[in-house]
A and B are shown apart, each in its own frame.
Chain A
Amino acid sequence: MKKEIITQSDPKSPISEVFRALRTNLQFMKRNDDCQTILITSTVQAEGKSWISANLATTFAQTGSRTLIIDADMRKPRQHKIFQVSSTPGLSNFLSEVNDTGRRQKIDTLDCIKSTEIENLYLLPSGNIPPNPSELLMSEKLIELLDVVTNNFDVVIFDGAPCLLVTDSTIISRLVDSTVLVTSYKYTKIDDLKEAKKRIKRVGGNIAGVVLNRVEISKKRYENKYYYASNNTPTVRKEKSVKDILGNTERKSSKKIDDELDRISKIKVEPRRSSKSDNAKIDDYINDKIEDTQKQIQEEIQNSKKFKSKVEVPSDKAKEILESIKRYK
C-alpha cells in the first residue's frame, strides 16, 4: 500500500480529519436520499479524483462499513497502483465478458473484487484497457453490477473518468445515489465546472457537492502542535455553493457530446428498488420481520451481557496507567 492513503498511514493528520468530516457530511445527507453509491469525478484530468476516492473509501472502511472502490476510469486506471493489486480481471472484463487473456467468457463480479491491506476495504480494479469504455458502461451489465455490489457492500465508491473529456462518468452519474465533483484550487475552470454540472443534471444525476482540493494553508495560523499544515486539503461544500462558484458564463458543448448526452438520457434504466414483483415485496416484508426479531434477540443478548459485566474493570491500557500512579512518589 502506498503512502498516498494518508487516512490510514497518518490518521491523526489534519488531512485525515478533513476526510472524516467529508465522510460524515455525506453520511448526514443520507437521511434525505440514500447515499450508498457515490461517484467521484472531476472536470478534467489531474484534479485528484483517485486520491480522494481512495482516502474517502478508507475513512468509510475505518468505521466498519464494508466498502468497495470501483475503478471506473478504464482509460487511465490508478486504483490498482495505489493499493498494489493486479488490475485484471476487473470492471472492463466483467462488462465486456472478455477475460484477461482475450477470450470470451462470462465473469462473475465477485471474482473481480480484490481485498486490500485495509480492513473492510475492497477494490474492483479497472481490468484490461478496453477500446470502447463508454459503450461498455452503457450496457445492461452495469446495472447488473450495481445490483450485485449494492447487495454485498455498505458503501460503493466509483472513481470515474473526468466528465468533460469523455461521457463515461456522465453515464455512471445517473445510476448512483450521488455524485461528488472534485475541483482543484486555482486549476479548475469555472466554466468547466458549470458545464460538468449541466451534463450530470441533464442525464438526471444527483450532485452531492464539490470538493475543493489542493487548497494552500498557511502554517502560522495553526499553532497547536498536532494540527500541522499540509498542501492537500479537500473540503466539501453544499450544492448551493456550486451555484455560487459557477457565475453566469456559459459555454456551448459540442454537437457530438450533445447528441451523446441525448442518447444516454434516453436509455431506460429500470429503477433498482421498485422493479420487484408483488411476491418479492411480500418476501421482503417477511424477511424484514425476521430481521427485526433477530435484531431484538441480539439486543437482548447484548443487554444481558452488559448487565453481567456491570462490575466493570479497567482496560489493559488503563491498568498500566493505574500502576504508574501507584508507583508515584
Chain B
Amino acid sequence: MIDVHTHILPGIDDGSKDIEETFKILREACEAGFSDVFATSHYIEGEYEFNKTDREYIIEAIMEKVAEEGLNITIHNGAEGYISNELPNLIGEEVVPTLGESRYVLFELPLRAKVMYTNEVINKFLQMKLIPVIAHPERYELIQDEPSIAIEWVEQGALLQSNYGSIIGRYGMTAKETLLKLLDANAVHFLGTDNHRSNSIYTRMEEIKKEFRRKIGRDKFYELSETNPRCILNNEEFEIEEPKKIKRRRR
C-alpha cells in the first residue's frame, strides 16, 4: 500500500515531534503493509513554512537511517498546502513541493471556516497543468453540510483524498457518514492516513481495511490504496469514473 498523506517528518509541523517518534511511526507503517509514504507535512503561510529544499534534506537524512535499520519503506517528498490565493504561486515557484515531484498537488481547506474561492484555486492549478488533490473532504463542515459541493470539485477536475480513519469514526460520526456518501457517489480517488502520531492510525489498520473491504469491496479498496496512489508515484494520469450526483440539500 502507498500512503499519500502523513505528517511523519520530525518537528516540521504538528505531526511527529522528534526523530524517535518518526521511527516508531515508520516501523508501524511497515507492519501495517505500507511500502511507500508521502511526507505531507503542513505548509501554512505564516505558521509552518518549511520549504521544499528543507524537506528534501530531512527526508534524505531519515532515509539513510532507514537503510541502516533495514526498514523496507520509502519516504517521498510532499506537502499538505493550506488553501490561499498564494498557494498556486508557491507551488509554481517550487517553495511548496508537489507530491513526489509529480503533477499532483495535495491541499486542504479550513475544517470549519467556509472559504468561497476553492473553485478559483482548483482552476489555477488546472491552468498550471497540475492535478489538485483535496485532502479529507469528509472532515470539512462545508462538505458535511453539503456533500454535493465535493462532487462539483471533482467535476471541475479535482481529485479527492479521504482518510482511512474516517471509516471507523475517528473524526466523528458526521465525517464517517459524509465519507460513505462520497464513496457511494464514486468520488473518492485516494486514501491516506493523515497520521500525526505513533500508536494511532497505523496500529488500527487491520480493522480499517476490513471495514473498507466490507463497504466498497476488495477491488475498489485496492484501487484507492494502491493502484491510484501508484499513479502519483509514477507521475501518470489515470481515467476517473464520472461521480454520481448527490442531491443538494439546500436551495
Contact = CB atoms under 8 A, between A and B. Distances in A.
Interface of A: 11-12, 14, 17-18, 20-22, 24-25, 27-28, 62, 217, 220-224, 226-227, 233, 235-236, 238, 312-315, 317-318, 320-322, 324-326, 328-329
B116 A238 contact: yes
A85 to B, nearest CB: 24
B54 A315 contact: yes
Interface stretch (B106-114, B202-210, B219-227): B106-114
B110 A17 contact: yes
A126 B173 CA distance: 49
B91 interface: no
A185 to B, nearest CB: 15
A318 B57 contact: yes
B114 A62 contact: no
Nearest to B114: A235
A91 to B, nearest CB: 31
Size category of the binding interface on chain B: 35 or more
A324 B113 contact: no
Chain B interface SS verdict (over half): loop
A135 B112 CA distance: 43
B19 A328 contact: yes
Contacts of B53: 312-314, 318
Nearest to B53: A312
Interface string B62-73: 100100100000
Contacts of B11: 320-321, 324
B14 interface: yes
9 contacts: A20-B84, A22-B113, A25-B117, A221-B174, A312-B53, A315-B51, A321-B11, A321-B12, A322-B57
A28 B116 contact: yes
Given A18-B110, A236-B116, 16 more contacts: A11-B46, A17-B113, A21-B110, A21-B115, A24-B117, A25-B115, A27-B85, A28-B120, A223-B171, A315-B50, A315-B51, A315-B54, A321-B58, A324-B11, A324-B18, A325-B62
Interface of B: 9-12, 14, 18-20, 23, 46-47, 50-51, 53-54, 57-58, 61-62, 65, 68, 84-85, 110-117, 120, 170-172, 174
A325 B114 CA distance: 39
A57 B172 CA distance: 34
Contacts of A321: 9-12, 19, 58
B113 A18 contact: yes
Contact of B111 (A20, A25, A224): A224
A24 B58 contact: no
Nearest to A235: B114
Given A12-B47, A318-B58, A325-B10, A28 B117 contact: yes
A226 B14 contact: yes
Contact of B19 (A12, A28, A227, A325): A325
A313 B58 CA distance: 12
A11 B113 CA distance: 14
A235 B113 contact: yes
A325 B117 contact: no
Contacts of B47: 11-12
